[in-house]
Structure 1
Amino acid sequence: MKIMEFIDAAAHNKVIELVILAIVFDTVFGVLRAVKEKKFNSCAGIDGAIRKVAMLISLVFMLAIDMLIKINLIGFIPETARGYLGLKTVGVAEFFSLLYIAYEITSIFKNMALCGLPVKRVWASVRGFLSKYTDELPDTDELDGNSTTGSVEGHKQQER
């Protein structure tokens, strides 16, 4: 019966459901961006798929930890974020879910902006909100057209 409790807990955890929803949105906009640019990117390629699957697998393991050991990490969540989310307790799975959601939101808006959607104002608001809680946000060089990510210029060709 423990396995059924675990499946029920995973299926009805709203924060984990939000992670899954964010992953789906990021994948959709990443694929649209790949189609527009006619090349793979971090969402539509194997690296993105591995990252997304790893997020989900890690959440399953962390949910198992939460069921075995009752840990409340609510103290690590800022008061304003707790108010927005209405959280009373935060287990290990929920804590990392919130981090994954923040990561996916940045990727979603980046992909939306690079697809040409008019979301730069929304992106600026999200970036401002997230910058209150972390300094690990990606730079906006790619959105500004100044990125050299993936560029091979300036690198020597491998000798045989």
Structure 2
Amino acid sequence: MEMGIMEFINVAAHNKVIELVILAIVFDTVFGVLRAVKEKRFNSCAGIDGAIRKVAMLISLVFMLAIDMLIKINLIGFIPETVRTYLGLSTVGVAEFFSLLYIAYEITSIFKNMALCGLPVKKVWAAVRAFLTKYTDELPDTDELDELPGDSTTGSVKTERQQEKTE
């Protein structure tokens, strides 16, 4: 079956998992910009590196969706049963599989940015981190979040760190 470009765009535009990736990217960008304003400097979300990473995620999803349309691969077995049930997935192509990974990555970044902006999300972040730790051991570095005060739900992060002098 031959698919036209408009049909491909329609399929991509109505893929719910890809829509979630786009939504996560938007939220991460918003909170990254707010964090950059608060800290008065660019960060991994509100700078050229973050923009390149986000565009690369979207471009890779378009290519993976094209692969899914050419070769029918079902990677549902790689998705934990609880996640499958929660999301209502019956099949998972390459694009959806990587979309779920991108969503997990963006969620960690969103909560990190929210916490570093001083929003009261430290306990929610801890729950998200515990959930993600159950399924992966490759969480991003959260040293900045670990510096937030004890059990408080908001906090500030030191904007400058002392560098060790090496002579």
Per-residue deviation at 1:141? 1.4
The aligned residue for residue 130 of structure 1 is 132
Per-residue deviation at 1:51? 0.3
The aligned residue for residue 62 of structure 2 is 60
CA deviations 1:49-95 (Å, max 9, x no partner) are 00000000000000000010000000000101101111000000000
Deviating more after overlay: 133-142 vs 86-95:
133-142
Query: CA 1:52–1:152 in structure 2 vs 1: closer, same or farther (change >3 Å)?
Result: farther
Per-residue deviation at 1:2? 1.8
| Runs of 5+ consecutive residues of structure 1 not aligned to the other structure | none
Per-residue deviation at 1:3? 1.1
Question: What is the rounded CA distance, in whole Å, between the counterparts of 1:92 and 1:151 in structure 2?
Answer: 41
The aligned residue for residue 27 of structure 1 is 29
1:81 counterpart letter in structure 2: V
Query: CA 1:8–1:142 in structure 2 vs 1: closer, same or farther (change >3 Å)?
Result: same
Deviating more after overlay: 41-50 vs 3-12:
3-12
Query: CA 1:53–1:152 in structure 2 vs 1: closer, same or farther (change >3 Å)?
Result: farther
Question: Of 72, 87, 90, which aligns to 1:88?
Answer: 90
Per-residue deviation at 1:96? 0.1
The aligned residue for residue 45 of structure 1 is 47
* RMSD over aligned Cα atoms: 2.1
The aligned residue for residue 153 of structure 1 is 163
The aligned residue for residue 9 of structure 1 is 11
2:163 counterpart letter in structure 1: E
Per-residue deviation at 1:154? 4.2
Question: What is the rounded CA distance, in whole Å, between the counterparts of 1:52 and 1:116 in structure 2?
Answer: 24
Aligned residues: 156
Question: What is the rounded CA distance, in whole Å, between the counterparts of 2:119 and 2:91 in structure 1?
Answer: 37
Q: Which runs of 4+ in 1 moved over 6 A?
A: none
